[in-house]
Amino acid sequence: EDRELAIECNSEVNDLSQFIHLHKELEIVYVISGKCVAYADKNSYLLKQGDMFISFPNQVHHYKTLESGKFVLLIFSPDIIYEYSSLISKSVPDRNFISSNEESELKTIFSKIKNVNTEYNNLTVCGYINVLLGKILPLLNLKIADKNKTSAFYDIVEFCSNNFKNDITLETVSEKLHLSKYYVSHIINKRLGQNFNEYINNMRVSEALSFLRETDMKISDISEYVGFGTIRSFNRAFRTIMGVTPVEYRNG
């Protein structure tokens, strides 16, 4: 994902994204109510009321909502973390989970974030994020990520993210990045738990969701815009991923 804002704060999320993704920002989820499983790389964490999940830059992550509720979702650049942005940008934590039992002030901090409503919203939220990181970083064991082991993977992800709306294939990625198509297939399957076509279809369907929710754009036009060759392939992939058709999703 490519993001333009230094801070994105949503304090009223009901269901978290099931789509596997990664980005250069940190992502924090705090559970006000409800229950979900959060996944980071190969680890999974059950989150319930009062718990917090944090994903570091370039960690593969996604969620499975078990019980709809209210979640605070923060996505922010490491650059806003006073003096520690460089360390955070190149590090991964030994775990991505903090419980309310470990840090008693989580509820207070997120309550303040949730209720921020001034003309200086981002400045205020930035301050609370720095306070929050100051409290939880001592609880995490940070280690420097091995870029040599992951650089090819990120090149593949970046290329696919920039080109999934086009007629993209394993052969396309292999040719453009000068990598074996078997290696591309293997690394996607290993890191994302999906085959190449599933990964591309997930990005296309994820892109289509906002158009279905927020616009009156024709479904056939959405299908073409996000990269599906036919409306039939769009409907089939959408139902496989979301459990409903695009029409049912829009009307539901």
One DSSP character per residue, 71-111 reads EEEEEE-GGGSTTTHHHHHTEEES--EE-TTT-TTHHHHHH
The phi, psi pair for 201, rounded to 5°, reads -65, -35
Residues in the chain predicted with pLDDT less than 50, given as ranges, are none
The Cβ of residue 214 has, within 10 Å, a number of other Cβ atoms equal to 8
What is the per-residue pLDDT across 154-194, written as a single tens digit (0 to 9) for each? 899 989 999 999 999 999 999 999 999 999 999 999 888 89
Q: Give the pLDDT confidence score for residue 224 in this predicted structure.
A: 96
pTM, rounded to two decimals: 0.83
Residue 85 · residue 39 · CB < 8 Å: no
DSSP 207-251: HHHHHHHH----HHHHHHHHT-SSHHHHHHHHHHHHSS-HHHHHH
